[in-house]
Amino acid sequence: MQLPRRGAGRASEPRAGGRPRADETPDRPGPGSWLLLIELDPRSEGDLSSQNRSRGSFSPAASREQVISTITPFPPAPQKPTSIERPVATRPTTALVRYVVPVAAIHLLGFLCLVPAFFSWTGVVICLIGVHLFGQAITMGYHRLLTHRSFETRLWFEHLLVLLAMCSFEDTPARWVATHRVHHAHSDEQEDPHSPLVSAFWGHMGWLLVFNRALHTAGSYEKYARDVLRDPFYMWLERRSWRIAVIYTIHAILFFVVAFGIGSAIWGVTEGLWFGASIVVWGVIVRTLLVWHITWSVNSLAHLFGYRNHDTNEESRNNWFVALVSAGEGWHNNHHHDPKCCTVSHRWWELDVTHLEVRLLRRLGIVTSIVPRREERARLAMEKVKKRA
């Protein structure tokens, strides 16, 4: 039996824009509940009619009135996954030797810092200075310059940043850039090379140790780092990946030679040898480990702990501790909201040391342009359109 809808007639006519009047009940169920429309059994109409007649209030429409019953709410919006599987392209049982060997070796050598003979306050100071200097080569050079092109600089300074970054043994420029761009394209999805939603260890460093055919192929570099490989210097580095190990070793030798020369001139040859060794242990090995784990913490901690200024479609967080040790990289939710922007500071107290240093370099004429925030870019684009009109 076809029943008339509630409010049939003038009150049920469609309104402009599809909205009911304020005094009208919508015909369709609102969000948040399923409505069950039940027709009365025709066999009961007679009984109901007789009851209504006896009361003097019989109405044919009343016998067909819809009975509305809420039976269940709409299912809630799908929640973001709290865990994901490893990328399909990875081979968990296939160790990536070119990463496993140096990562294991540097970590084992790091225990030398516990030997009192290798300790010197000069080494500690050089370590702390080096964490910032060589760490900025990663943050400013590999990340904000090569990966996101958030500022432009002189070519000689770009190449200097890359050389310093390779002294931290964090891969060649094209590989680093390709990996990070894949991360932004699939952040916290299964294709993300280092999402901590797989596991905290995986997101921190486990992903480095196994083969991932989505990353370690010429096709991935061509797709995600083509602009980097146009530079002959970066292509030269990529053709022989062992060159990064040579550069790292040469820089460690230079640290020792300079420290040995100074120590020998002041205290003699024997003391000079110990002094040089302390500088290598603290100024090279410990510093390298600290730079590694600071970089990796952006991938792990800044996707697990912290607050969010922006509702991005992944799990990035603003983590004050990571921001403190990484010169601003820990404001990671801000970065994922606007990766192209040079600054990751979106509140007055979110200190971005890297951006301040880039601005200083611009005053010195080394940096030639800086990419502003998305809103400012939109405003500048509108001004250009108006000028053309």
User: Residues 6 or more apart from 2 whose CB is under 8 A from it?
Assistant: none
pLDDT score, position 33:
38
List of E strands, 60-137:
67-70, 90-95
Query: How far apart are alpha carbons 127 and 121 in whole angstroms?
Result: 10
Question: Is the per-residue pLDDT at 74 higher than 80?
Answer: no
75, pLDDT greater than 60? no
- pLDDT (tens digit, 9 = 90+) per residue, 233-265? 999 999 988 999 999 999 999 999 999 999 999
Task: Please say if the pLDDT value at position 62 is more than 70.
Answer: no
pLDDT at residue 80 in the model: 65
CA distance linking residue 348 with residue 62, whole number of Å: 65
Mean pLDDT value across residues 285-289: 98
The region, left, alpha or beta by phi > 0 then psi within -120 to 50, assigned to residue 11 is alpha
Distance (Å, whole) CA 389 – CA 385: 6
Give the burial string for 129-156 (b: 16+ CB within 10 Å, else e).
Answer: ebbbebbbbbbbbbbbbbbbebbebeee
The mean per-residue pLDDT over the stretch 125-145 comes to 98
- Can you give the pLDDT at residue 266? 95
Band the pLDDT of 79: cuts 50, 70, 90: low
Position with higher pLDDT, 172 vs 31: 172
- Which pLDDT does position 93 carry in this prediction? 82
**Residue 344, token pair as written in the block:** 């990751």
Q: Does residue 141 contact residue 165 with C-beta atoms inside 8 Å?
A: yes
Whole-number mean pLDDT of the chain? 85
Q: Is the pLDDT of residue 8 over 80?
A: no
Rounded CA-CA distance 84/337 in Å is 22
Contact 166, 269 (CB under 8 A): no
**pLDDT reported for residue 69:** 42
Predicted local confidence at residue 217, as pLDDT? 84
Mean pLDDT for 79-89 is 82
Say what the pTM is: 0.78
Count of other CB atoms within 10 angstroms of residue 186: 16
Q: What is the pLDDT of residues 191-229, one digit of tens each?
A: 999 999 999 999 999 999 999 988 888 888 889 999 999
pLDDT at 2: 47
